[in-house]
Amino acid sequence: MIETVDLITDTRNRREKLREMMRLDGADACLIASNLHIFYLTGSIFAGVVYLHCDGTERFFVRRPVGMTGSQIRYIRKPEQIPDLLEQDGLPLPKVVWLEGDELSYGEWARLSQVIPGTRCVQASARLRTLRSVKTTYEQAQLIESGRRHALAYQKIPSFYRPGITDEAWTIELEREMRLNGCLGLFRIAGQSMEAFMGSTLTGDNAGAPSPYDFALGGAGMHPSLPIGQNGTVLKPGQTIMFDMGGNFTGYMTDMSRVFAIGHVPSEALRAHQVSMEIHQALSESGKPGKSGEALYDLAMDMVSAAGLSDYFMGLSQKARFVGHGVGLVVNELPVLGAKSRDVLEEGMCIAVEPKFVLPSIGAVGPEDTYIVRSWGMERITPGNQEIVVI
Amino acid sequence: MIETVDLITDTRNRREKLREMMRLDGADACLIASNLHIFYLTGSIFAGVVYLHCDGTERFFVRRPVGMTGSQIRYIRKPEQIPDLLEQDGLPLPKVVWLEGDELSYGEWARLSQVIPGTRCVQASARLRTLRSVKTTYEQAQLIESGRRHALAYQKIPSFYRPGITDEAWTIELEREMRLNGCLGLFRIAGQSMEAFMGSTLTGDNAGAPSPYDFALGGAGMHPSLPIGQNGTVLKPGQTIMFDMGGNFTGYMTDMSRVFAIGHVPSEALRAHQVSMEIHQALSESGKPGKSGEALYDLAMDMVSAAGLSDYFMGLSQKARFVGHGVGLVVNELPVLGAKSRDVLEEGMCIAVEPKFVLPSIGAVGPEDTYIVRSWGMERITPGNQEIVVI
């Protein structure tokens, strides 16, 4: 039985955890200005700066929207007003300040780092990523709800098939179904190593097309400005199609892939899919607190190797060197289950596992599911059958 | 008659124009690493770095995808290899280097600025924004095609109405229609001052809800993690609904809003919409090369004031201080038609004009259209009737 707290209490706890990290690290305060972390720390998005001092004081400096109320809120026109406002409230100016070096642009960092005179600024994005990697019970509940609705929308996938349909047309119907189920649509990604609309769909030879992005698989995409996923291929009997959409139903994103076969597909594809399901089983049993991301990756690689399927695993000419990744407010969180990953599993982490194979001229196989790390292993939160569904 | 060149020639011309700016500015070379500008300068997206020297030499340093070919292409594992690769090709190391301070994170800038020893790095994002603001004939053709398909999809809007429908359900049907017409879906925005899925729809009181983002209007959105646009309001007779979607059909985004009335709406709403259309007419006539963004904004504000509608213009409790903005690869380009904007119109700029009003308890009115600046004024590229359509 998970005890959940309300969002206000939960975000207060998150801010307190961040302060704890600051104290251990010798930082006095942080200035948080990314939409991502403002939402994470306050439960709202505003244009402005969250200021947390390790002594427990905090201010939310807001430029927009008008009308926010709360004892921490101070309206500003520009961040340069912050030191005056702190002094007006009798608060000390910090000496060592955490800033978000990965979320702020160079220009934003350069400006914000000058706001409080005489401070030393520390790039703290890695700390924030670590903090976010372990989900609170409130966050877990959001992820579980996203997973439930994500899986519900996927149940309709077969009903959209008609002979001669393209991967793109089929995907559009699934997008609509997801949206009607409450998906917010926005596919949030940290950094620019990836871009996507709502997800990616792969069939046939396009499944092996290399992409510039850091997704597990590629696909040429519909246009050179967005080279990922479906490319307008007409579905053909004997081929598979893999749907891989971001499940942003609650602000928190689950990740889930399911594979469908148009009629009879070669047994090699069915076997590879079976190996993928076995990897899911093995990883969900081994994925306990204390296990490293590398160990889980190696376990998957060993199973692939034993099955003689290494050539097809995680791409053809270009291979991803991970089999899973954290998810949450964005689709690329910690931990990474990948080669040389030193990330260590903790209870409450949320991880998408995607051991996938690309079979030349057939398509991609292997389910993707999202899990929460428990004391006893990984609990799947994207419910439903993992098998290939024949259409 | 517009003479268009092919993409390869066009991107070569863009790179040459950038070199010209570099020479004038005393920069030796640039290192371009954002997806946005890599696409702008090469016509492809790859993970890596575009290196342009003002002497005309260039290299595309690629990490991913595999398989790219071309005389400028050199594969790298990490950007630190760049100086060695330049030296291997007998190329001089630059002393003054342009970097993208607004597109790169602080972390990316910090790393890339150390790659070539002894260089001075200059924040060149403003220059790149200026370069991108004037569209080549190739780019104009892409925008015209986006506008054509954008308008085509909007024609279907009335057919999705049924009594009792919500703004969200209606929007989902339009999203699908846009996608079936070839919209790539992705709504590209520079920076984090805005986030959106495919656009925003406003009806009733939600039209006046202030947003943290820098859009013309707000709306509470469907969830606190994405506070913009429709919020699930059921359409009611006597109210308006405004659809405002990003038209990314070609990598280049047009911007277009259309207003529909459920039955009879108060004459104040019709009059405000009429004033908006008159502003469009006036701005499209006055919007010639040499005109400033501020002058066009002031012209619009004067017309609003003369009509006695200032209280409703560009929001209620929170007002945007612009009536138009450049569009292109992203939805927030130069020029800005806004208060104190020093941007000056040039032939080939592409501008979305959106003089909008919010009528309390009715909704938002005022069309938005995208224009290209010609010698004689602004040519509208989102075709079709601007009037309110009564449903």
What SS3 class is residue B147? helix
pLDDT band at B192 (very low <50, low <70, confident <90, very high): confident
Could you write out the DSSP letters of every residue in B149-214?
HHHHHHTTGGGG--TT-BHHHHHHHHHHHHHHTT-------SSSS---SSEEEEEGGGGG---SS-
Tell me, what's the pLDDT at B1? 42
Q: What is the DSSP letter of A324?
A: E
Tell me, what's the pLDDT at B5? 79
Is A184 in the B-facing interface, judged by CB distances under 8 Å?
yes
What SS3 class is residue A35? helix
Interface mutation vs chain B, best among A106, A176, A317, A358, most B CBs within 10 Å: A106
In whole angstroms, give the CA distance from residue B28 to residue B94: 5
In whole angstroms, give the CA distance from residue B150 to residue B387: 17
Specify which residues B344 forms β-bridges with: B292
Is A200 in the B-facing interface, judged by CB distances under 8 Å?
no
Which residue has 């994207």 as its token pair? A382
Q: Which residues of B touch A218 (CB under 8 A)?
A: 65
Query: Which residue on chain B is closest to A177 by alpha carbon?
Result: B172
Specify which residues A60 forms β-bridges with: A50, A73
pLDDT band at B4 (very low <50, low <70, confident <90, very high): low
Q: What is the DSSP letter of B139?
A: H
Proportion of chain B above pLDDT 70, given as a percent: 99
Is B43 in the A-facing interface, judged by CB distances under 8 Å?
yes
Phi, psi of B379 (to 5 degrees): -95, 125
- Which token pair is B77? 């594992």
Specify which residues B98 forms β-bridges with: B30, B122
Determine contact, residues A98/A29, Cβ cutoff 8 Å.
Answer: yes
Q: What is the pLDDT of residues A148-192, one digit of tens each?
A: 999 999 999 999 999 999 999 999 999 999 999 999 999 999 998
Is B83 in the A-facing interface, judged by CB distances under 8 Å?
no
Tell me, what's the pLDDT at B3? 53
From B104, B184, B251, residue closest to A106, measured CB to CB: B104
* Interchain contact, A223 vs B251, CB within 8 Å: yes
Angle at A295 between CA A289 and CA A297, to 5 degrees: 115
**Is the ipTM beyond the 0.85 threshold?**
yes
| Listed residue (A130, A142, A69, A80) closest to A102, CA to CA | A130
Q: What is the dihedral of CA B120, B83, B80, A330, to 10 degrees?
A: 70
Q: Inform me whether the pLDDT recorded for B79 exceeds 70.
A: yes
- Which token pair is B277? 């259309």
In whole angstroms, give the CA distance from residue A215 to residue A194: 7
Is B108 in the A-facing interface, judged by CB distances under 8 Å?
yes
Rounded to a whole number of angstroms, the distance from the CA of B212 to the nearest CA of chain A is: 5
Q: What is the pLDDT of residues A241-277, one digit of tens each?
A: 999 999 999 999 999 999 999 999 999 999 999 999 9
Q: Inform me whether the pLDDT recorded for A64 exceeds 50.
A: yes
Average confidence score pLDDT of chain B: 97
Is B64 in the A-facing interface, judged by CB distances under 8 Å?
yes
Q: What is the pLDDT of residues B19-51, one digit of tens each?
A: 999 999 999 999 999 999 999 999 999 999 999
Cβ partners under 8 Å of residue B198, min gap 6: A185, B175, B178, B183, B185, B187, B245, B246
- Amino acid in position A245: M
β-strand pairing of A58-64 with A73-75: parallel
Residues in chain B: 391
From A43, A104, A225, residue closest to B45, measured CB to CB: A225
From B185, B191, B218, residue closest to A105, measured CB to CB: B191
Cβ partners under 8 Å of residue A271, min gap 6: A307, A309
Q: What is the dihedral of CA B61, B64, B70, B75, to 10 degrees?
A: 50
What SS3 class is residue B86? helix
Q: Inform me whether the pLDDT recorded for A4 exceeds 90.
A: no
pLDDT band at A1 (very low <50, low <70, confident <90, very high): very low
Is B317 in the A-facing interface, judged by CB distances under 8 Å?
yes
* Interchain contact, A184 vs B197, CB within 8 Å: yes
| B351-369 mean pLDDT | 98
Q: Give the C-alpha distances (Å, rounded to integers) separating B171 from B177, B357, B366, B382.
A: 10, 20, 18, 19
Chain A and chain B share a number of CB contacts under 8 A equal to: 174
Phi, psi of A355 (to 5 degrees): -75, 105
Is B107 in the A-facing interface, judged by CB distances under 8 Å?
yes
